[in-house]
Chains A and B, each alone.
Chain A
């Protein structure tokens, strides 16, 4: 099983639509969670951290379900500029007794294409 799994898409949606991405992770002791955005041929950029209580940043809402090892990202009122690949990212806990090196595990990404 992959450490972080995402539906690769692509998701093709019209402007103004609401779209949701899901992600599952295998390490139940994972410590922190993020969504990154990557535009074509560019570097990943942090979109938002994901907190246990859920968090919102404008049109973007992130949710974490530790019991199900599941993370989601909701985008409301999609814009053309939201077209990109969205990466689910997890900081796993290392083997027992090892220190956390801050490493991040990236999912393969979900591609979103917003159409006019």
Chain B
């Protein structure tokens, strides 16, 4: 399935590095989301973009910086991360708010390891 793609699939970075995660959706959706999934914890919503405008920031540290240049692309810029930021980062998209349907479709995720 190629509805929502994410790159890279795996990333290992040091605490002083700067890297970016990329997400692209091919579903014609208007909303895109970043989630973090750590071991043994529920998915945590990080950011919501609706019609390219950030509408929710879930108290995420400033070392995570999202960017949504258009409705099909979403980036998560990373800098000076901590080892506890190691997790699976998932991108999702939905038709919301164009329709009331907020079923979200996920990309395969980027598994991030911070050394």
Contacts and interface: CB of A to CB of B under 8 A. Distances in A.
A8 B107 CA distance: 24
Given A101-B48, A102-B104, A108-B42, 9 more contacts: A42-B108, A43-B109, A99-B55, A101-B31, A101-B50, A101-B55, A102-B31, A102-B48, A106-B42
22 contacts: A43-B106, A44-B43, A44-B90, A44-B106, A46-B105, A91-B102, A100-B96, A101-B31, A101-B56, A102-B31, A102-B48, A102-B96, A102-B97, A102-B102, A102-B104, A103-B33, A103-B56, A104-B45, A104-B102, A104-B104, A106-B42, A108-B42
B94 interface: yes
Which of A32, A46, A101, A109 has most chain B Cβ within 10 Å? Answer: A101
A34 interface: yes
Interface size range on B against A: 20 to 34
Contacts, number: 54
Interface string B14-58: 000000000000000001010000001111010010100001100
Give the 6 A-B CB pairs with smallest separation, nearest first: A102-B96, A102-B102, A43-B106, A106-B43, A108-B42, A101-B55
Contacts of B41: 108
Nearest to B43: A106
A105 interface: yes
A102 B50 contact: yes
A107 B42 contact: yes
Interface in A61-97: 87, 91
Contacts of B102: 32, 91, 100, 102, 104
Contacts of B45: 103-105
B103 interface: yes
A17 to B, nearest CB: 26
A27 interface: no
B34 to A, nearest CB: 11
Interface in B69-108: 90, 94, 96-97, 102-108
Given A43-B108, A101-B48, A101-B50, A34 B103 contact: yes
